[in-house]
Structure 1
Amino acid sequence: MKVNIQAVNFNVDRKLVDFINIRLEKLQQYYDKIVGIDVSLHTENTSDKENKSVDIIVKIPGDDLVVKKTAKTFEEATDLAGAALERLLVKRKEKVKAH
């Protein structure tokens, strides 16, 4: 599984890249047919403190799962998105087993 990380208008430090990779590698245990993951990091132009957005696209055969989360930090947004993806992947796996 390949994880592509793209940051819009800023440079990502190694610590954040490692965190994202470790968090998203855990998705393999919920659904083993993941082809790749695209992650887009960007900051919203608002005065709100929760302005860090993470968009994650999980590519699986037949469909793509898309999750967008916003939080105070990229780590928190990644964690929220990862939890949402875990639920989606479990639903997908149960749906595939039913057919």
Structure 2
Amino acid sequence: MNIQIQSVKFDADQKLIDFVQHKVGKLDRKVDNTTGAEVTLKLDKDDTAGNKVVMLRLAVPGHELVAERRSKSFEESVDLCVDAIKRQIERYKEK
């Protein structure tokens, strides 16, 4: 699966990029024919619920599954997005 990672307002280190690729890469096992994934990592000014925002878009045939989560760390936000996409994949498979 082709995974594109974009960091906004900061430079992501290699450890974070590897973590994202590992977690998002596992989604390929859940659904067949994924055409790619886009991950946007963004630092936000508002720090009430955490300033690390992750948006994950997974392209599957005929659909685009999207999740956006905010938390205190990028790793936690990525985990939350992956869990949300897994639930969306289950609903997608039921159709």
Q: TM bucket by the smaller chain? A: over 0.9
Unmatched tracts of structure 2, length 5 or more = none
Q: Contact 2:30/2:89 (CA < 8 Å) preserved in 1?
A: yes
Aligned length: 95
Preserved CA contact (<8 Å) 2:45 2:51? yes
Check 1:49–1:92 CA distance in 2 against 1; reply closer, same or farther (3 A cut).
Answer: closer
* 8 Å Cα contact 2:19/2:75 also seen in 1: yes
Task: Report the Cα distance in structure 1 between the residues aligned to 2:49 and 2:64, rounded to whole angstroms.
Answer: 30
Q: Report deviation, 1:32.
A: 1.5
Q: Which runs of 4+ in 1 moved over 6 A?
A: none
Secondary structure of 2:56's counterpart equals strand
SS of 2:37's equivalent in the other structure is strand
TM-score when normalising by structure 2? 0.94
| Paired AA for residue 82 in structure 1 | V
1:49 deviates by 5.8
Amino acid at match of 2:5: I
Q: Match of 2:71?
A: 71
Identity %: 36
